[in-house]
């Protein structure tokens, strides 16, 4: 009974957003109210009013740090590049690679987006590529949808592998084995997604009248797959920190080479897009914010251990229950919330943008004005995210998430197939692969009979969580706000949900087969 009732806030959110066409803000806060009411109705939960208020405040705080700050920092970089005109240089460079929208979608959303996900995450891999794609002439809705579908498999090892490394640490799992299983489960989907992106991008060319896979695009698709096929090797030999960063970089390089060799350019489109020749200095000045982002994010990540350890004291923890968690919260977990003031991507993104601005000769007043405009324009999106995260925290601390997990655990021998769906639901509710793993990782590990099965179930949950990114209201809100389509979140969700379900089902079948081999 608790299992079904626990799903009600999620179902209410889906119905309001998708079928009743309510705004994301109304849907999020209405679902939060439903969750609070159910908390007091069900005997097994009944978190006291102090716990409810503490959960809401915790949700609001974590919505701002790191999610909100990352959104502002990433879009500040883009908005400043628009104001300085540097985005036109990037547009010209990408146009010089190819005017083919299919190749642009693969290079930007699948390659560049995967790379940004690997080093930053938290919505930047949707926000930055989608904004650039719109500037290249993609329709806003299609650009957002392409980036949402693309922001799937790379997120397993997003933010320098954080979703996987956290589970390895928390449950003392084998690092290489867990990362390897995760990359293997996602391998099939990694080979399928580029084809879907090409079909979607083909709609931008003469209304999709021509064959999607003609005119030299297949070698580019194959190049992208070859690049990402390096993930299992990287995961097995280097662990979970670098698979997405390195494989996406390889994929981008290979796709650019394949595009130059095999794509036959439309001469008319090429002439219209030719613009001014880009010098090496112009290119450097345009890309310097992103170059600095990569340097600072990798430089402060666990990859550079000395710097990372030196900055660890800037990370703080806070208990929103003020030591009363035993009486206020029902989930029995660690009530402390970690705030990474420097080590989260927001600080490196912001610092990189400011330093790049000075290098480009932008006046401090212009940067300040741009930042103000960015914050004011994206504030409604962050308010939506606050409601969604507050909903997830209330569900977690009240015991609703635990009840949902127990319901799935009762599936017995069919659990391997269900395992990825837990991750999908977790990311849908929380908007984060990491948060999903933290919510359901204990269930996955508990149901694993041996170390190999524990690693497999964590991998399955992580994989399922990556499919949940494309239906996550937080991710959709970021995409909508980036391309100027606030209010269209329901349409986006209706489109992506079918892919997310199929995605989790494929992972479920693979996990079921894998579990049979490991028993």
- Render 231-262 in DSSP notation, one character per residue: HHHHHHHH-SSSHHHHHHHHHHHHHHHHHHHH
| % of the chain exceeding 90 in pLDDT | 46
pLDDT one-digit tens code per residue, 314-329 = 989 899 999 898 899 9
What's the pLDDT score for residue 320?
92
Instruction: Name the band, by pLDDT with cuts 50, 70 and 90, for residue 2.
Output: confident
Instruction: Name the band, by pLDDT with cuts 50, 70 and 90, for residue 488.
Output: confident
What's the pLDDT score for residue 268?
61
Q: Is residue 372 over pLDDT 80?
A: yes
Tokens of residue 342, six digits: 């420097």
What's the pLDDT score for residue 444?
87
10 Å CB burial of residue 230 (0-12, 13-18, 19+) is middle
Lowest mean pLDDT among 24-33, 215-224, 410-419, 427-436: 427-436
- Work out the average pLDDT over 394-418: 86
Of residues 67 and 259, the one with the higher pLDDT is 259
Distance separating alpha carbons of residues 418 and 69, to the nearest angstrom? 34
What's the pLDDT score for residue 96?
77
What's the pLDDT score for residue 151?
94
| % of the chain exceeding 70 in pLDDT | 97
Q: Is residue 48 over pLDDT 70?
A: yes
> Taking the CB of residue 48, how many other CB atoms lie within 10 A of it?
15
Please report where in the chains the tokens 């601390």 appear, as a residue.
397
Instruction: Name the band, by pLDDT with cuts 50, 70 and 90, for residue 272.
Output: low
Of residues 497 and 346, the one with the higher pLDDT is 497
Backbone φ/ψ region at 396: left (φ over 0), alpha (ψ -120 to 50), beta:
alpha
What's the pLDDT score for residue 135?
83
Cα atoms found within 13 Å of the Cα of residue 10, Cβ hemisphere only? 22
Of residues 74 and 212, the one with the higher pLDDT is 212
Of residues 435 and 126, the one with the higher pLDDT is 126
Q: Is residue 267 over pLDDT 80?
A: no
pLDDT one-digit tens code per residue, 117-147 = 887 676 778 888 898 899 888 999 999 999 9
Of residues 209 and 199, the one with the higher pLDDT is 199
What's the pLDDT score for residue 269?
56
What's the pLDDT score for residue 416?
95
Highest mean pLDDT among 234-238, 477-481, 509-513: 509-513
Q: Is residue 271 over pLDDT 60?
A: no
What's the pLDDT score for residue 273?
53
Please report where in the chains the tokens 């290489």 appear, as a residue.
176
Q: What is the mean pLDDT of the chain?
A: 88
The one-character DSSP state at 208 is G
> Taking the CB of residue 210, how many other CB atoms lie within 10 A of it?
11
Lowest mean pLDDT among 98-112, 163-177, 209-223, 490-504: 163-177
Instruction: Name the band, by pLDDT with cuts 50, 70 and 90, for residue 291.
Output: confident
Instruction: Name the band, by pLDDT with cuts 50, 70 and 90, for residue 392.
Output: confident
Q: Is residue 439 over pLDDT 80?
A: no
Cα atoms found within 13 Å of the Cα of residue 489, Cβ hemisphere only? 30
């Amino acid at each position: 009974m608790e299992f079904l009732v626990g799903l009600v806030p999620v179902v209410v959110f889906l119905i309001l957003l998708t079928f009743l066409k309510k705004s994301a803000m109304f849907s999020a806060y209405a679902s939060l109210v439903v969750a609070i009411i159910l908390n007091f109705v069900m005997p097994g939960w009944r978190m006291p009013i102090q716990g409810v208020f503490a959960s809401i405040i915790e949700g609001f705080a974590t919505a701002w740090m790191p999610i909100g700050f990352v959104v502002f920092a990433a879009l500040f970089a883009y908005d400043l590049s628009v104001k300085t005109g540097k985005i036109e240089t990037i547009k010209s460079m990408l146009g010089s690679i190819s005017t083919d929208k299919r190749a642009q979608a693969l290079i930007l959303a699948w390659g560049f987006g995967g790379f940004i996900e690997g080093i930053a995450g938290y919505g930047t891999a949707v926000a930055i590529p989608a904004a650039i794609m719109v500037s290249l002439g993609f329709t806003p809705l299609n650009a957002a949808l392409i980036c949402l579908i693309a922001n799937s498999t790379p997120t397993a090892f997003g933010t320098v592998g954080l979703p996987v490394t956290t589970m390895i640490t928390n449950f003392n799992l084998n690092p290489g084995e867990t990362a390897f299983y995760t990359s293997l489960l996602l391998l099939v989907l990694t080979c399928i997604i580029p084809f879907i992106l090409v079909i979607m991008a083909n709609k931008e060319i003469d209304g999709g009248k021509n064959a999607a896979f003609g005119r030299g695009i297949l070698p580019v698709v194959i190049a992208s797959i070859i690049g990402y096929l390096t993930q299992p090797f990287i995961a097995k030999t280097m662990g979970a920190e670098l698979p997405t960063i390195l494989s996406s970089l390889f994929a981008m390089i290979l796709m650019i080479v394949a595009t130059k060799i095999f794509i036959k350019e439309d001469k008319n489109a090429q002439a219209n897009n030719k613009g001014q020749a880009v010098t090496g200095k112009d290119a450097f000045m345009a890309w310097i914010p992103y170059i600095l982002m990569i340097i600072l994010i990798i430089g402060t990540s666990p990859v550079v251990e000395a710097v990372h350890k030196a900055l660890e004291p800037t990370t703080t923890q806070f208990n929103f229950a003020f030591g009363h968690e035993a009486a206020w919260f029902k989930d029995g977990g660690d009530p402390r919330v970690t705030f990474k003031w420097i080590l989260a991507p927001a600080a490196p993104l912001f610092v990189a943008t400011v330093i790049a601005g000075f290098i480009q000769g932008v006046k401090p007043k212009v940067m300040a004005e741009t930042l103000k405009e960015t914050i004011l324009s994206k504030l409604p999106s962050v308010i939506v995210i606050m409601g969604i995260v507050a909903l997830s925290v209330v569900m977690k601390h009240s015991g609703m998430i635990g009840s949902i997990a127990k319901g799935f655990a009762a599936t017995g021998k069919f659990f391997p197939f269900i395992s990825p769906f837990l991750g999908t639901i977790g990311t849908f509710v929380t908007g984060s692969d990491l948060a999903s793993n933290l919510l359901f990782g204990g269930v996955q590990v508990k149901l694993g009979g041996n170390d190999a099965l524990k690693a497999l179930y964590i991998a399955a949950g992580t994989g399922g969580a990556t499919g949940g990114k494309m239906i996550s209201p937080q991710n959709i809100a970021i995409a909508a706000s980036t391309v100027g389509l606030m209010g269209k979140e329901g349409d986006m969700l209706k489109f992506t949900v079918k892919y997310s379900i199929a995605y989790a089902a494929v992972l479920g079948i693979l996990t079921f087969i894998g579990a049979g081999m490991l028993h």
